[in-house]
Amino acid sequence: MVTLLRRLFIRNYRNVHDEKVRIAHGVLAAWFGLSSNFLLVAMKLTAAFLLAAKSDWQVFSIALLADAMNNVSDMASCLVTLFSFRLSSKRPDQEHPFGHQRIEYIAALIVSILVLFVGVEFLRESITKIVEGTLVDYDVLTLTFLGISILIKILQGYVYLALAKCIQSLALKAQGVDALMDVLTTALVLVSAIFAISPLHWNFLDAWIGLAVSLFIIYEGIAMIKEASDPLIGEPNNEALSQEIQKKVLSHQQVLGVHDFIIHSYGASNQFVTFDVEVNQSLSLVAAHELIDSIEREIRHDFRVQVSIHVDPVEVGNPIYDTYKARALAIVQSIDDKASIHDFQIQKGPDFSTISFDVLLPYMDENKREEIADAVIKEFQKIDSKYHFSIQFDHPY
């Protein structure tokens, strides 16, 4: 079904790397969500008002109203998504040279806050109804509306998540998860209605189901806020993309190693990659420059990212260099076997020599910095007390 929708409403729908095609996916999702959520709100409010009319407008189903208002917040989130995709398509300008795609993350955050607000409000209302002992009677029409609502929400979740996967959109993924969570909350209201019209006549469950629905909405809102905030604060590198690019770089025979690999994300299709490439220091400056230019062109073409590479010269074929580097690595890994070293250099001076290198240390082991530095210095001073050290510590991105 999703493929059919894409074919009908999106020109050249397969080319998801094209910014116009990507925006068209977001707009399609937004309009699909607006129309389907409007239908859900209309059905649930109709059911709530018909039930209230039977009690001379004295009793309203808090569970039905909570579920309907949750769909109203879904409509608002669709509007936010539509607005955000339009804004994120703006070209980079003087004030925002990295583009506007992060607006999608802000949209996802706004949607999450709306979801949380709805949950808190209906939690308060549900507790009030429980204390007051409010009873609500349901009918077959309400059960029918709720059953249809569940089917529509399942369809919504499927469409949102499928489109999110196509264009790697966090905002659409948030809406997809929200839709599937709504299936559960509506199912709880349906259970309440079934028990109310059953021979048990448990019409006191409405407020308690409203409470459960509210707690689910609050949980969902908090989880969505975290997921929307992470890319704004800064997330780890995309491991799959990182490995693919490094594999491509290392396929060049003149490249001896890659380190300090960082992916800066300014949106799903707007990423900047920086890293260091190790080459033989005997390579001329012109040859090294041509090599790096060639690698950058390949990466831009194959992975559609912006890239900047720093060159690190490595002394090759010097037995002292190789021995000392191996010894330093052995000392570091004797303290933390997950650590590694790079940028190993020996600078010889008239009075003393300086050994410098960087240690890549996992976050959880950063308290080992001083221990590693002391161990390296102590071991090398056994060889020659004239060695000075410059040790920098990095953490993985």
Which pLDDT value is given to residue 137? 65
Residue 328 has pLDDT above 80, yes or no: yes
Question: Is the same domain home to 144 and 189?
Answer: yes
- The pLDDT of residue 60: 66
Q: Are residues 187 and 299 in the same domain?
A: no
Residues 22, 23, 25, 29: is their CA dihedral positive or negative?
positive
- DSSP states along 232-289: HH-----HHHHHHHHHHHHTSTTEEEEEEEEEEESSTT-EEEEEEEEEETTS-HHHHH
What integer pLDDT is reported at residue 245 of this predicted model? 93
CATH number where 142 lies: 1.20.1510.10
- Report whether pLDDT(335) > 70: yes
CA 268 from centre of chain: 10
Cα dihedral 227, 233, 236, 240 sign? positive
To the question of pTM greater than 0.95 for the whole model, the response is: no
Give me the percent of the chain exceeding a pLDDT of 70.
95
DSSP code, position 348: E
pLDDT, the chain, mean: 83
Nearest to 32 by CA among 69, 86, 79, 89: 79
**Could you give the number of structural domains in the chain?**
2
Between CA 215 and CA 251 the distance in angstroms is 52
Domain that holds residue 39: 2-233
The better pLDDT of the pair 63, 356 is held by: 356
Residues 264 and 381 in one domain: yes
Q: Looking at the structure, tell me whether residues 229 and 244 fall in a common domain.
A: no
Assess whether 229 and 371 both reside in one domain: no
Name the burial class of residue 95, with classes exposed (0-12), middle (13-18) and buried (19+) by CB atoms within 10 angstroms of its CB.
exposed
Residues 218 and 280 in one domain: no
The pLDDT value recorded for residue 273 is: 93
Residue 83 C-beta-side C-alpha neighbours within 13 Å: 11
For residues 21 and 99, state if they share a domain.
yes
Cα-based distances in Å from 175 to 42, 70, 96, 114, 126: 20, 12, 27, 12, 25
How far apart (Å, rounded) are the C-alpha atoms in residues 41 and 43?
Answer: 6
- Which pLDDT value is given to residue 158? 92
pLDDT tens per residue, range 113-166? 877 887 887 788 778 777 877 666 667 777 888 888 889 989 999 999 999 888
Contacts of 190 (CB under 8 A, 6+ apart): 143, 146, 147, 150
Structure-token match 């990182």, residue found: 242
Q: Does one domain contain both 249 and 106?
A: no
Mean pLDDT for 331-351 is 86
pLDDT at residue 290 above 90? Answer: yes
**Same domain assignment for residues 64 and 209:** yes
Same domain, 185 and 221: yes
Q: Are residues 359 and 243 in the same domain?
A: yes
Last residue of a domain, one of 233, 261, 288: 233
Q: H or E element: which one contains 175?
A: helix 170-197
The CATH number of residue 312's host domain is 3.30.70.1350
Kind and range of the H or E run holding 194: helix 170-197
* CA pair distance 86, 80, nearest whole angstrom: 10
